[in-house]
Amino acid sequence: MIDNETLPVEYMGGKPLCMNQYYQILSSCRIPGPKRDSIVNYAKGKKQSRHITVVHNFQFFELDVYNSDGSPLTTDQIFIQLEKIWNTSLQTNKEPIGILTTNHRNSWAKAYNNLLKDKTNKESVRTIEKSICTVCLDAPMPRVSEDIYKSRVAAQMLHGGGSRWNSGNRWFDKTLQFIIAEDGSCGLVYEHAPSEGPPIVALLDHIVEYTKKPELVRSPMIPLPMPKKLRFNITPEIKNDIEKAKQNLNMMYGHACPTYESASLRMFRLGRTDTIRSASIESLKFVQSMDSPDKSDQVKTDLLRRATQAHREYTDMAIRGNAIDRHLLGLKLQAIEDLVSIPELFMDTAYAVAMHFNLSTSQVPAKTDCVMCFGPVVPDGYGICYNPMDEHINFAISAFNSCADTNAAQMAHYLEKALLDMRSLLQSTPKSKL
């Protein structure tokens, strides 16, 4: 019916609805452009697509889903072909070429044109774009508790979990991507440009109902060709594009944001504060290790020790007047006061990002069992004040109700979980000393 565009017309309030979106979701793909993206629909061509693409461990395959006589492959046949793909793509050290599709559209457009300069790459990309849909066979995700399992699955379906997990096991420009996790969870992510949600939901409803019916067609006794692996020639420039895409994706999901901690400058007359930048390379390595099943507790403890030491060293620099933030602030204010042009450094995007403290923290010790509180310093940030006591730590966490991206209660939950995880880690390595 989709091929012939003869689906029954849907109605809303007695009025007929346009069915065109149904005919745009199969064999279609979004193409990045330097100024504007475009949508290609290969279902409209004279020669319709007969294959899907399958990706496993960042490796793409072309899988024909029709027999030579034009009949569709049976469930058993498709399973056999998927098993072949699985067994020939067990290597986990491949470049995640699909991560390029997560990048900013302008950056992806440049990388796309660079990628297609190579004939082999161009043929592989065209095969993906022309496919009916993409099936993503994902690697295992980090284990989580049952109460947040569904949230983790939702994140996996939406974005793959970041560059360390399955975000490179996608081609996000493809209209339909069906995702199957190793634990049996499954879902779909779709590119929004060709269609709104209702046609996609209707398609999923049809798939679910279809799978409930017994398959009456017997698999033909004919050998099936090995699915074709799509090759990519990764030049140094393409590898650089991949690394940039990884970094950009991780800035959106699970990133170490600019973090402010107050450092007292009362060692100096009339001294107020400077900034301890708590987010460091060492702290990031430790945090990443906590989610890595490949890292032993001893390795994690060593990374925690290094992160703690790096924090102590920066704190010592800050309280002795050797931090950077107040120095730079003084230079900026001096330029404004002297009515001279502000140095380019202060106009740079990197400086603006570095000064946007999503996490503003302060330790305010007190002998009494209390805690001070303050608000966030940016609209999409958190304010966290804490008082370390002998047997516990008091925290006050604030966020603006007007910001949909922050949630103080949720932050409190994950902060507590992180602290308990760290306690368990240290208890498992009793000789550890920070």
Average pLDDT over residues 42-53: 86
Are 47 and 154 in a shared domain?
yes
Residue 253 clears pLDDT 60, i.e. is over it: no
Are 194 and 314 in a shared domain?
no
Catalytic residue among 56, 104, 159, 192: 192
Contacts of 280 (CB under 8 A, 6+ apart): 307, 310, 311, 314
Residue 116 clears pLDDT 90, i.e. is over it: yes
The answer to whether residue 333 sits within a structural domain is no
Are 16 and 130 in a shared domain?
yes
CA dist 357 and 361 (Å) reads: 10
Query: CA nearest 243: which of 94, 95, 57?
Result: 95
pLDDT score at 314: 92
Average pLDDT over residues 133-154: 83
Contacts of 144 (CB under 8 A, 6+ apart): 152
Are 300 and 187 in a shared domain?
no
Within 13 A of 400's CA, how many CA atoms are on the CB side? 12
Report pTM. 0.60
Phi-psi region of 11 (alpha: psi -120 to 50; beta: other; left: phi over 0): beta
Query: Is-catalytic flag, 192?
Result: yes
Pairing of strands 134-137, 51-56: parallel
State the pLDDT confidence band at 252, using cuts at 50, 70 and 90: very low
The three-point CA angle 190-194-196 to 5° equals 70
Host domain of residue 112: 11-252
The answer to whether residue 215 sits within a structural domain is yes
The total of structural domains in the chain comes to 2
Are 227 and 285 in a shared domain?
no
